[in-house]
Amino acid sequence: MNSVAQAAAPPIRLNVVRWIGFKTIVIREYGRIIRIWGQTIVPSVVTAVLYFAIFGSLIGRRVGVMGGFDYKQFIAPGLIMMSVITNSYGNVVASFFGAKFGKHVEELLVSPLPNWVIVAGYATGGVVRGVLVGLAVTVVSLVFTHLHVHHLALIFTALVLTSLTFALAGFLNALFAKNFDQVNWIPAFVLTPLTYFGGVFYSVSLLPDWAQNLSYVNPILYMVNAFRFGFLGVSDVDVGVAFALMASAAIVLFAVAVGLMNRGTGIRE
Amino acid sequence: MRPLWRAFAASNRGVDSGSLALSGATPDAFVMNALSVRGLTKTYSNGVQALKGVDLEVERGDFFALLGPNGAGKTTLIGIITSLVNKTAGEARVFGHDIDRELEAAKACIGIVPQEINFNMFETPHTIVVNQAGFYGIPRQVARERAEKYLKQLQLWDKRNGISRGLSGGMKRRLMIARALMHEPRLLILDEPTAGVDIEIRRSMWDFLREINARGTTIILTTHYLEEAETLCRNIAIINGGRIIERDGMRSLLGRLHVATFVLNLRESLGVAPHLEGYVTRLVDDHTLEVEVSKEESINEIFARLSALGIEVLSMRNKVNRLEEIFMRLVEGRAIPGEGAGEVASAGAPATPRTPAEVAR
Ligand SMILES: Nc1ncnc2c1ncn2[C@@H]1O[C@H](COP(=O)(O)OP(=O)(O)OP(=O)(O)O)[C@@H](O)[C@H]1O
Ligand SMILES: [Mg+2]
């Protein structure tokens, strides 16, 4: 036995390891977003341009005023939010499922990082993508209309909480998914309809009572309205309730994701 | 919320246990060894019993071979230690850190080179190794320096900025070795690192592994190239059907094989095998003769006898590598020639681990 092997190993400072590990996951996710920017950033920008051109400029002219604002101004926060939701979710589901599929998730699983750090890292990656795309769509909006800022901090909080919630939801989707169909299924059949019915294009006050009541169980309605409130100062729902809902959703989803990871669901034999 | 709490609780216990492994006045093997595995079992969800109660001790600083036929359970065992596979029952410790209670501390000690390629094919080798260091808490600046060091040592520096999919099979394996070394682990586990690697690079990998072992890193190696295990490793365990069937020092194990078979290449053709008193001979073809020689007998004697018969030997080689011979016999449950029948019976059951100290190093 040689002396080197016997020597005391330096103590492992777990909190330092976790912090550096967390940053590394975020940096890696950011690198992925930038590396494949044609798939991560561009599509939402193109979609936003189309929406503004067709719904905003062509149809919007006939709609006139919505919720007390010019139609383009009214839909701008909704369109930004829509791209934030799709992209936060899409980033995590694609990246984490890709890591499972390509087996490089093992790089993280064998590392000393606890599962909550891994979940937090991926979720933050999703937020980064949501915010980047949100900014890009905001720039597009500014080309078509002017944005009034009612309360910047609220805008930002709503943006982060929404993208965090959907990033975590995307993580759960990726954990359970066994193939690429299951990665595409929820965005297509759950997320898109909920977003369209979530008051992106209209104020729910236009709806008949039953449809309004139904809309209130749609979580996206609260997110879109909280965000719109930050810009326009108008909302179909109680903004306090909306923020409480978003925060609770993020906390619950985080706990569930960490719990499933600890059990090994979808990642460990 | 409980799992969340558990994750916190488990990791916080890891903090103060760093000194535990080294402070014990009576060093229990279970605490002191690089790896300590007790009663480990694994039944996969499809009902396959991959491990049926594995006990294994690997000393600090050892260069250890874990051998076994395909499907023996090697990768499963390694998977449990590195937490890629959930165990069914049993315990495992890495440098005294229990994988149930101090998982983070245990994992921080291990570097793993997996059997199957598991890096992101779309990332560059440089990104892969630098990020891996980050997952082990190595600051980015240090990680960049180490990336240069290890990518150069594994002859991948020129390839560092291309996408990894473009690497050859052997380069991909070397990349995984570089990746495993980035946090300079105390225990390096290599699951068939040399599969598909050419001879020249394999030999340079051997030198490289010997060197890091000499500097104090404990190494556990699985391989199907028994010559490789024989050359590199000081201690050995053979696993078969989910059980350890042999655990010994390499020299002591090889020493148990008392018979060697030599293959002689003859100048003249022979019709029948020559009769050599006291030796078992067999004519393979008219120019090739096999002779079994027990350890006590000298080879000179054979040459003397053959010369007397006017038979000229052009060249000679061992029929099989010695470890290969022992391995085959153990795995097939046959006797090792020269050993008592009692030894053979124990080959089927888990062998009592012998202390590695037996072996002269
Ligand atoms: N994910 C899995 N699900 C079900 N059975 C598995 C799984 N992985 C391995 N097994 C089974 O467990 C047994 C042990 O496999 P393992 O991969 O540990 O063997 P090994 O010793 O590493 O073999 P090899 O030398 O071929 O790599 C085999 O019977 C195998 O079929
Ligand atoms: Mg294997």
Q: Which of B102-111, B162-171, B239-248, B322-331 has the lowest mean pLDDT?
A: B322-331
Which of A7, A11, A20 lies nearest to residue B134, judging by beta carbons?
A20
pLDDT in tens, A251-260: 999 999 999 9
Section B106-119 average pLDDT = 95
Question: Where exactly are the structural domains of chain A?
Answer: 14-263
Q: Is B46 in the pocket of ligand 1 (CB under 6 A)?
A: yes
List the one residue out of A147, A15, A139 whose CA is nearest residue A70.
A147
Q: Which of B165-179, B208-222, B270-284 has the lowest mean pLDDT?
A: B270-284
User: Residue A267's pLDDT is what?
Assistant: 86
Residue B358 above 50 pLDDT? Answer: no
Contacts of B8 in chain A (CB under 8 A): 114, 116
- Residue A86, min C-alpha distance to chain B (Å): 24
* Cβ–Cβ under 8 Å, residues A164 and A88: yes
How much is the ipTM here? 0.88
Q: Is B115 in the pocket of ligand 1 (CB under 6 A)?
A: yes
Q: Which atom of ligand 1 is nearest to the CA of B77?
A: 18
Q: Which atom of ligand 1 is nearest to the CA of B46?
A: 4
Nearest ligand to the CA of B85 is 1
Q: What stretch of H or E contains A96?
A: helix A71-101
Distance B119 CA to ligand 1 centre (A): 21
Residue B11 above 70 pLDDT? Answer: no
Residue B105 above 60 pLDDT? Answer: yes
Residue A268 and residue B86: Cβ atoms within 8 Å?
A: yes
User: Residue A174's pLDDT is what?
Assistant: 95
pLDDT bucket at B8, cuts 50 / 70 / 90: very low
Distance A160 CA to ligand 2 centre (A): 44
Residue B5 above 70 pLDDT? Answer: no
Q: Is B73 in the pocket of ligand 1 (CB under 6 A)?
A: yes
Nearest CA to ligand 1 atom 16: B73
- Residue A102, min C-alpha distance to chain B (Å): 7
Comparing B20 with B124, the larger pLDDT belongs to: B124
Q: Which residues contact B81 (CB under 8 A, 6 or more apart)?
A: B35, B37, B92, B94, B99, B110, B189
Nearest CA to ligand 1 atom 28: B71
Q: Which atom of ligand 1 is nearest to the CA of B74?
A: 21
The single-letter DSSP state of residue B217 is -
Distance B56 CA to ligand 1 centre (A): 19
Nearest ligand to the CA of B73 is 1
Distance B216 CA to ligand 1 centre (A): 31
pLDDT in tens, B59-102: 999 999 999 999 999 999 999 999 999 999 999 999 999 999 99
Cβ atoms within 10 Å of B105's Cβ, excluding its own: 30
- Residue B21, min C-alpha distance to chain A (Å): 9
- Note whether B75 contacts A: Cβ–Cβ < 8 A: no
Q: Is B50 in the pocket of ligand 1 (CB under 6 A)?
A: yes
- Residue B357, min C-alpha distance to chain A (Å): 9
User: Residue B1's pLDDT is what?
Assistant: 40
Beta bridge partners of B261: B292
Residue B190 above 60 pLDDT? Answer: yes
Q: Which of A46-50, B145-149, B269-273, B325-329 has the lowest mean pLDDT?
A: B325-329
Interface-testing mutation among A104, A251, A265, with chain B (most B C-beta atoms within 10 A): A104
- Give helix A42-51 / helix A71-101 axis angle, nearest 10°: 160
List the one residue out of B246, B223, B237, B276 whose CA is nearest residue B336.
B246
Contacts of B218 in chain A (CB under 8 A): 5
- Residue A56, min C-alpha distance to chain B (Å): 39
Query: Reduced to 3 states, what is the DSSP secondary structure of residue B159?
Result: helix
Contacts of B97 in chain A (CB under 8 A): none
User: Residue A4's pLDDT is what?
Assistant: 42
Residue A8 and residue B22: Cβ atoms within 8 Å?
A: yes
Comparing B20 with B146, the larger pLDDT belongs to: B146
Cα–Cα dist B12/B5, whole Å: 11
pLDDT in tens, A207-242: 888 888 888 889 899 998 999 899 988 888 899 999
User: Residue B298's pLDDT is what?
Assistant: 80
Q: Is B70 in the pocket of ligand 1 (CB under 6 A)?
A: yes
Residue B344 above 80 pLDDT? Answer: no
Nearest CA to ligand 1 atom 2: B44
Window 42-61 of B: residues touching A by CB (8 A cutoff) are 44-45, 59-61
Residue A16 and residue B137: Cβ atoms within 8 Å?
A: yes
C-alpha distances in angstroms, B267 versus B240, B299, B317? 43, 19, 15
- Note whether B22 contacts A: Cβ–Cβ < 8 A: yes
Which strands form B63-67's sheet, in the order they lie side by side? B110-113, B187-191, B218-222, B63-67, B235-240, B243-249
Residue numbers of chain A with a pLDDT score lower than 70: 1-12
User: Residue B178's pLDDT is what?
Assistant: 96
Residue A255 and residue B3: Cβ atoms within 8 Å?
A: yes
Residue B118 and residue A13: Cβ atoms within 8 Å?
A: no
Comparing B122 with B276, the larger pLDDT belongs to: B122
Query: Helices marked H in chain B — which ranges?
Result: 2-16, 20-23, 29-32, 74-81, 103-108, 125-135, 140-153, 169-181, 199-214, 226-232, 250-255, 299-308, 322-331, 341-348
Residue type present at position B156: L
In chain B the domains, ranked by start, together with CATH numbers, are 259-320 (3.30.70.1560)
Residue B60 and residue A5: Cβ atoms within 8 Å?
A: yes
| Vertex A264 angle, CA B85 and A121, to 5° | 110
By the 10 Å C-beta count (0-12 exposed, 13-18 middle, 19+ buried), B274 is classed as middle
